[in-house]
Amino acid sequence: MKYKNLLNSALFFLFILSQNIFSADEVDRLAVKFTNPDKPGFIEVSLVNGGVTAEGYNGQEVIIEAQSRTREIVPEETKRKVDGMKRIPITTTGLSVEEDDNRMEISVDSWRRTIDLNIRVPYNTSMKVHCVNSGDIVIQNVNGELDINNVNGKVTLQDISGSVMAHALNKDLIVTFKKTDPEKAMSFSTLNGDVDVTFPDNLKANVKLKSDNGEIYSDFEIKLDATPRKVVEENDRNKSGKYRVKIDHSVQGKINGGGPEFQFTTFNGDVIIRMKK
C-alpha cells in the first residue's frame, strides 16, 4: 500500500510538471478562417528551425499553435557571466497569419530560435510545408495537394487523399494514402533515407523507380517496360567543350495498366511500394 501511494504521488507530480512545461502561457495560438470556408483552402509554412505537425478535421477554422523550444545547451562563456542567476525562458514565437482569397501563409521567428507548429486544418486543404533543421514534418487526414520538403528531418504523411510531391533529404519519407487523385503525377524522393509509400489496391500508375545504393520492393505487380532504356545526352560543348551520353538506370513500368507518372527516387536507401491491406 505504501508503494502504491508513493507511485500515485510520483505520477501526480509528473502530471503537474507537464502542465507547467506546456502551460497556456508558453503556447501562442491563433484561429483563422479562410475567406470562403466552403471551398478548399491552401496553406504555406516555412521553418528554418523546428517541425510541423498538421491534422485535418471536420471544421472551418485553421487552428495554429506555436511553441518555442527552450535552448538546452548554454555556452560556457555565458554560464560564467550569469553564474547564480535565474534563467528566464524566451517563449515568444512571432506567430503571424496572412490570409487572402483562401490562401494562408503562416509565419514564425524560426530563424531566431527553434519553434514547433501544431496545426488543425479543414479536411479539404492543400499544403506547402518546408522545414530545414531540428524538426520532422507529420501530416495526417487531409485531402488536397501536398508539396512537402524537409532537409534534416523525417517526413510522415498518413491517411492522405489527393496527390503528393515530397522530398526528405537526410531522413526517411513515409506516406500512406487513403485515396489518390487519378489525374495527378506524384514524386517521392530522398537522398539518405528510405522511400516507403502505401497505396490503395486499385492504384493505376506509370512508375519510375531508382535507388543508387539500395533495393526496390513492391507488393504490386509491376509490368516492366520492354523498350530499351532511355539514352540521356548532356551537351556542354559550348561552355566546357564536354559531351556526355549515358543510359538512364531507373526502372520503369506500369501498375494495373498504367496511369499518371509516379517517381520514386533515393540515393542511399530503399524504395518500398506497399499495397494497403
Q: Count CB atoms within 10 A of the CB of residue 98.
A: 11
What's the confidence (pLDDT) of residue 240? 66
Residues whose CB is less than 8 angstroms from the CB of residue 242 and which lie 6 or more positions away in sequence, other chains included: 234, 236
- Burial class, 72, CB count within 10 angstroms (exposed 0-12 / middle 13-18 / buried 19+): exposed
Stated length of the chain: 277
CA distances from 62 to 30, 44, 91 (A): 8, 12, 22
Residue 226 has pLDDT above 50, yes or no: yes
Structural element, H or E, at residue 21: helix 2-21
Per-domain boundaries in the chain:
25-71+89-275
The reported pLDDT for the residue numbered 70 is 75
- Hey, which residues does 261 pair with through a beta bridge? 206
Q: Are 114 and 50 in contact (CB under 8 A)?
A: yes
Has residue 228 got a pLDDT over 70? Answer: no
3-state SS assignment for residue 152: coil
Burial class (CB within 10 angstroms; exposed 0-12, middle 13-18, buried 19+) of 94: middle
Q: For domain 25-71+89-275, give the fold.
A: Pectate Lyase C-like (2.160.20)
Does residue 10 sit in helix, strand or coil?
A: helix
| Selection from 212, 213, 273, 215 nearest residue 248 by Cα | 212
Q: What is the pLDDT of residue 120?
A: 98
Q: What is the pLDDT of residues 158-194, one digit of tens each?
A: 999 999 999 999 999 999 999 999 999 999 999 999 9
Burial of 159-189, coded b for 16+ CB within 10 Å and e otherwise, reads ebbbbbbbbbbebbbbbbbbebbeeeebbbb
pLDDT for res 7: 45
* Beta strand pairing call for 115-122 and 61-68: antiparallel
Q: What's the CA gap between 62 and 164, in Å, rounded? A: 21
Report the pLDDT value the prediction gives residue 144, as an integer from 0 to 100.
Answer: 98
Residue 18 has pLDDT above 70, yes or no: no
- Give residues with Cβ within 8 angstroms of 28, minimum separation 6: 65, 66, 67, 92, 93, 95
Strand duo 61-68 + 27-33: pairing: antiparallel
- Segment 46-66, tens digit of pLDDT: 999 999 999 999 999 999 999
pLDDT, mean over the chain: 87
- 54: CB partners within 8 A, 6+ apart: 43, 117, 118, 119, 120, 121, 127, 129, 138, 139, 140, 142
Q: What is the pLDDT of residues 99-119, one digit of tens each?
A: 999 999 999 999 989 999 999
Q: How many other C-beta atoms can be found within 10 angstroms of the C-beta atom of residue 231?
A: 9
User: Span 187-208, mean pLDDT?
Assistant: 97
Beta strand 186-190 with 205-211 is unpaired
230 or 223: which leads in pLDDT: 223
